[in-house]
Structures are given as structure tokens and as C-alpha cells.
């Protein structure tokens, strides 16, 4: 079924999930929606995030996607259950895959979740992990400076990134947790600095790999995988300024064909 997979995020962070989907399923076309104009979602109220998430998902479904991937942890926590009831196409979030990955990774059953305030306040990761294994201990920390660092395209400045990471994570440096979940799809762009800060004492993971595996499994089960082809071109829809998308696409997906369209909702 050569329909696109719809992927949505509040900004550029969801491209980290797109990268993994393309790596695992190179024949699949992506229709991506970045809601730059209203980013970041993590500092907004639950009602606002739910409203924005439904608007964006409605747009993707109206444009014929065969699946919606909510590549935003805050939006997943706020609205995944609503979207699952709202559409006939499957909807995949990033929290459940991230929780599974953390459980597989940890040896001492102690996990740290780094996320936006919205995701932390929702308790979504802690609930997902405990529901899978009640013996786990979960610490959560809101990292409000991380998303602006990425969205303002300053994440490539390693000096600034290291300073922000150190200031944000210093209270967790001596934590006994052996696994750190990057509970926001923007954070993998800071993964090197976060891993360097914790050193060998903790494994840093993101949910992109597991999310892509879920996407592949669902499409395979539904016999909805795209046919093999050499001309896959992805579409990047931007609600707002396209400049930061151009910058990160060149850095993050350098060998991928795509076109960018600036739109209004």
C-alpha cells in the first residue's frame, strides 16, 4: 500500500524518529508535520496540547496517511488514547516503545526519564514502565532548556550544549539508575553530550528504534507495507518557518530525498 506514513511533532525533534523509520523501512514514504509555530508543546497546558495534537493528526489523516506516528512524547501522553478512538488508521506513540526499551536495557531496575514538563507531569513514562514491570523504580526530570536549544539550532555548539546539559542534569549525576530514557524526540540531538556527562555509569536510550519496530510490525501484520521502489520522496509540512528544518534535515538526513512545504492550519 503506497500511502505515506504520517509523522507529527511540535517541531524538528520527530525527525529523529523519521530517521529510524527510513533506516528500517526505506521503501516507505513519510508525510511529516512539524508544528513549529506552537512549539514547544511541553510547556503548554494539557488542554492546549490535546487540541493541537488532534488538529495536526486530523490534517494528516485527511491527507491520506495509512498510519499516524505521534513522534512527540508530550502529545502522546496528552492525546494518544483519543486519537486511537478517533481514526480508522493505526496510531503509534513513542512512550510505550521507550518504556519497553528501558526495561530491556536496565539491569538494576532503576531508570531516569528526561522529558518536558508536560510529559513529566503526566506520569506517562512511569506508569508505562510500572505497568510492564512493577519492580522498577523511576525518577523523572523536566529539562525545559533542551527543546529550545535544538529548535534554535544551537545544539551543534558543543560548548553551549555541554553547559546546558551539566546545569540541567547535575542533581542526577550520582543517581543509582543505570538507564536514562530520552523522553522527548528532540533530546537525541543532544544524546552525545548527555551520554558523555553520565559516562559509563548509565546507558542513554531513545525510543526511535523501538517505535520504528512497532510501525514495521503493524504495517506488516496489516499487509500495508509499501512496494519496493527507488523513487521515494518524503514531504515535510511546516506550520511556521522552514529554516530550522532545512538545517536539521541536511545534518540529520543528508542522503534523503524530500520537499518542504510551509503551510497554515
C-alpha cell read off for 44:
503548554
39 classed as catalytic: no
Kindly state the average pLDDT of the residues 157-182.
95
- Which of 254, 119, 238 minimizes the C-alpha distance to 187? 119
Burial class (CB in 10 A: 0-12, 13-18, 19+), 112: buried
pLDDT band of residue 244 (cuts 50, 70, 90) is confident
Percent of the chain with pLDDT over 70: 100
Query: Is 41 known as a binding-site position?
Result: yes
C-alpha 239/C-alpha 228 separation (Å) is 31
Query: Is 42 known as a binding-site position?
Result: yes
Query: Is 9 known as a binding-site position?
Result: yes
143 classed as catalytic: no
Q: What is the pLDDT of residue 250?
A: 84
Q: Which of 39, 143, 184, 233 is catalytic?
A: 184
Q: Do domains 5-93+209-262 and 95-207 have the same CATH topology?
A: yes
Q: Where are the domains of the chain?
A: 5-93+209-262, 95-207
Architecture of domain 95-207 in this structure: 3-Layer(aba) Sandwich (3.40)
pLDDT tens track for 98-132: 999 999 999 999 999 999 999 999 999 999 999 99
pTM listed for this prediction: 0.91
Q: Does domain 5-93+209-262 have CATH number 3.40.50.1860?
A: yes
Q: Which of 39, 72, 143, 233 is catalytic?
A: 72
Query: Is 187 known as a binding-site position?
Result: no
C-alpha 124/C-alpha 184 separation (Å) is 12
C-alpha 40/C-alpha 51 separation (Å) is 14
Query: Is 135 known as a binding-site position?
Result: no
The lowest-confidence range among 116-130, 203-217, 247-261 is 247-261
Mean pLDDT, all residues of the chain: 93
pLDDT above 90: residue 247:
no
The sign of the CA dihedral 119, 123, 128, 130 is positive
pLDDT above 80: residue 227:
yes
Amino acid at each position: 500500500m503506497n500511502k505515506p506514513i504520517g509523522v507529527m511533532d511540535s517541531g524538528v525533534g520527530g525527525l529523529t524518529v523519521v530517521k529510524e523509520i527510513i533506516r528500517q523501512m526505506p521503501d516507505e514514504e513519510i508525510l511529516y508535520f512539524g508544528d513549529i509555530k506552537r512549539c514547544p508543546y511541553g510547556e503548554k497546558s494539557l488542554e492546549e496540547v490535546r487540541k493541537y495534537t488532534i488538529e495536526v493528526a486530523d490534517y494528516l489523516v485527511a491527507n491520506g496517511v495509512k498510519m499516524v506516528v505521534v513522534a512527540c512524547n508530550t502529545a502522546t501522553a496528552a492525546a494518544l488514547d483519543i486519537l486511537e478512538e478517533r481514526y480508522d488508521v493505526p496510531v503509534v506513540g513513542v512512550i510505550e516503545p521507550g518504556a519497553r526499551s528501558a526495561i530491556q536495557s536496565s539491569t538494576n531496575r532503576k531508570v531516569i526519564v528526561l522529558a518536558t514538563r508536560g510529559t513529566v507531569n503526566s506520569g506517562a513514562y512511569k506508569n508505562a514502565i510500572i505497568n510492564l514491570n512493577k519492580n522498577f523504580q523511576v525518577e523523572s526530570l523536566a529539562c525545559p532548556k533542551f527543546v529550545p536549544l535544538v529548535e534554535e539550532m544551537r545544539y551543534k555548539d558543543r560548548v553551549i550544549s555541554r553547559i546546558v546539559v551539566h546545569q540541567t542534569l547535575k542533581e542526577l549525576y550520582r543517581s543509582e539508575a543505570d538507564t536514562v530514557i530520552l523522553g522527548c524526540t528532540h533530546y537525541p540531538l543532544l544524546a552525545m553530550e548527555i551520554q558523555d556527562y553520565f559516562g559509563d555509569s548509565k546507558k542513554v536510550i531513545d525510543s526511535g528504534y523501538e517505535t520504528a519496530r512497532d510501525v514495521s510490525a503493524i504495517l506488516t501484520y496489516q499487509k500495508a507495507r509499501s512496494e519496493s521502489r527507488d523513487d521515494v520522496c518524503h514531504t515535510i509540512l511546516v506550520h511556521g518557518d522552514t529554516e530550522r528544518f532545512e538545517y536539521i534535515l541536511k545534518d540529520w538526513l543528508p542522503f534523503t530525498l524530500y520537499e518542504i512545504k510551509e503551510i497554515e492550519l
